[in-house]
Amino acid sequence: MELSLDKTVVIYNPEIEGSQAVAQQISQKFENAKAFALSSMPDDASFAIVVGGDGTLLKCARKYSALEIPILGFNMGRLGFLAQAMPDEIDYVVNKIKSNDFRIEKRIMLKCPTTGAVALNDMVIRGATFSRTSTLNLYINGIKLCSYLADGLIISTPTGSTAYALSAGGPIISPNIECFIVVPICPHTLNARPIVVPSSEYIKITTMDSPKDFQITADGQDARIIKKEICVEKYEKYAKLLLLNNDGSHFYDILREKLHWGVAPNK
């Protein structure tokens, strides 16, 4: 797959120690490439390399999905589930990119029409009064499905199924499946279970609580207050993740490596 490197940018998170130095080192490998702090991401780019943790990559994905710019991550955080490489692999990664030995995966995203916020991983909905549980009514395409008495709801993409939704008891979904997962957070009824719905469905959440205010957070970063009801749907744009063609780059390989999936107990 052809990729224009004419306007390569390298985005780093200055809050992560050493990320600027790594970004500068990467930018020197590409002609005319420049390094930018996370707070000053440029619009004029053909390809973005992100140096930081998953949070850094998620913020870049929200911006660059609208511009249809592919991104690749170097992990300098903790888990780094979305990142493709470590800082000591710069030469290897650059050679892969310049020889077109990669693929670009399109990942579905979420959008809240009320606020315009978008998310690659998930949107988390809670009542405005955080000190107590909320009664949250879930509607799918206008049809009421259930009422949750819970601390909140997670609406996740398959990409986000390995993040907060997994910690709350949701299933892991392969990212090539276009669907959403709705997962209650600490529900107070035993029959409250996660549900997987097609990405074409329109999700609405209301409450009978007082006040009828919600907080909705996109990817754990962009938090906003909404009154009366919240709607969530598929974003019209896709995040474009550049993935290297090498052993261990498949989703299932990453599951095994990062989450220690299916590791037999020691004897």
pLDDT, one tens digit per residue, over 10-50 is 999 999 999 999 999 999 999 999 999 999 999 999 999 99
pLDDT tens column, 62-114: 999 999 999 999 998 776 678 888 999 999 999 999 999 999 999 999 999 98
Structure tokens at 175: 């990212």
Q: Does domain 110-234 bear CATH number 2.60.200.30?
A: yes
Question: 222 an active-site residue?
Answer: no
Mean pLDDT of 110-132: 88
pTM over 0.85: yes
pLDDT value for 262: 64
For residues 188 and 150, what is the distance between their CA atoms, to the nearest angstrom?
6
Q: Is the peptide bond before 211 cis (omega within 30 degrees of 0)?
A: yes
Please report which confidence band the pLDDT of residue 255 belongs to, taking 50, 70 and 90 as the band edges. Answer: confident
pLDDT in tens, 173-209: 999 999 999 999 999 888 889 999 999 999 999 987 7
Lowest pLDDT segment from 30-34, 54-58, 185-189, 212-216? 212-216
DSSP sequence for 60-92: HHHHHHHTT--EEEEE-SSS-SS--B-GGGHHH
Active-site residue, from 6, 43, 54, 222: 54
CB 61 within 8 A of CB 120: yes
Q: Confidence band (pLDDT; 50, 70, 90) for 226?
A: confident
CATH no., domain 8-108+238-259: 3.40.50.10330
Q: What are the extents of the domains in the chain?
A: 8-108+238-259, 110-234
pLDDT at residue 165 greater than cutoff 80 = yes
